[in-house]
Structure 1
Amino acid sequence: MDEFASGMDFGAVAGGSEQTELSRMIAMEQQKAQFQLKVHNFTDVCWEKCVDKAGSKLDSRTEACLVSCVERFVDTTLAITNRFAQMVQKGGH
C-alpha cells in the first residue's frame, strides 16, 4: 500500500483544472493581503510625514501634504494594477 500511495499524484485526484483554480485563488488572496499590508504601511508613512499633531482640523500645509501623498498612492496603485494585468494576460496565452 505504501508503494501505491507514494506513486499517486494527489493533484490529479483533485482534478487539474480544480487544482489550477485553487492555486489561482490562493495567489489572489496572497496579493490582496500584500496590498492591504502596503496600504497600512503607506497610511503610517503619510501620517508620520504629514501630521505634526492631531487636532480637530487640518491646516492647509497638512492637507496639501496628505493630498499629495494620496495622489502618489493612487498613481502607484494604478501602475501596480496595470502590471498585474499585463502579467495575467501574458500568462493566459
Structure 2
Amino acid sequence: MDTQGVATDPQLQQFIEIESQKQRFQQLVHQMTEVCWEKCMDKPGPKLDSRTEVCFVNCVERFIDTSQFILNRLEQTQRSRGAFSETMTD
C-alpha cells in the first residue's frame, strides 16, 4: 500500500486517533500526578494521613476543573474565529 492509501484508510486513521487519545490521556495523568505529588506529599510513608488524602483529592479536582476550563475557552475562541479545529480539543 502506498502512502496515499495509508492516509485514506479509515480504519488506520481511527486506530491512530485512538492511540493518540490514549497518549494524551497518559500525559495528562502523569502531569496531574507530578503536580499533586509535589503539592501534597510532605514525607512518604506506609499510609496517607487524612490531610494528605484531602489535599490529593482537592488537587486532582482543581486540575481537572482547570483543564476543562482551558479546553472550553480554546474551543470558544476557535469557534468565534470561525476556524474551529478538532485537534485543538485534544
Shorter chain as denominator, the TM-score bin is: 0.5 to 0.7
Q: Quick one: which amino acid aligns to residue 68 of structure 1?
A: N
Q: Which residue of 1 aligns with 2:20?
A: 30
More contact order relative to length (CA 8 Å, sep ≥ 6): 2
Larger Rg: 1
Tell me how far apart the structure 1 counterparts of residues 40 and 3 of structure 2 sit (CA, whole Å): 55
1:50 shift after superposition: 0.3
What pairs with 1:1-93 in structure 2 (closer than 5 Å)?
10-11=4-5, 19-73=9-63
CA 1:59/1:9 → structure 2, altered by over 3 Å: closer, same or farther? closer
Instruction: State TM-score, norm by structure 1.
Output: 0.56
Unpaired segments of 5 or more residues in structure 1? 1-7, 88-93
Q: Which residue of 2 aligns with 1:90?
A: none
The percentage of counterpart residues that share the same residue type is 51
Check whether the contact 2:40–2:55 (CA below 8 A) recurs between aligned residues.
yes
CA 1:10/1:58 → structure 2, altered by over 3 Å: closer, same or farther? closer
How many residues get paired?
70
1:63 shift after superposition: 1.3
Give RMSD over aligned pairs.
2.8
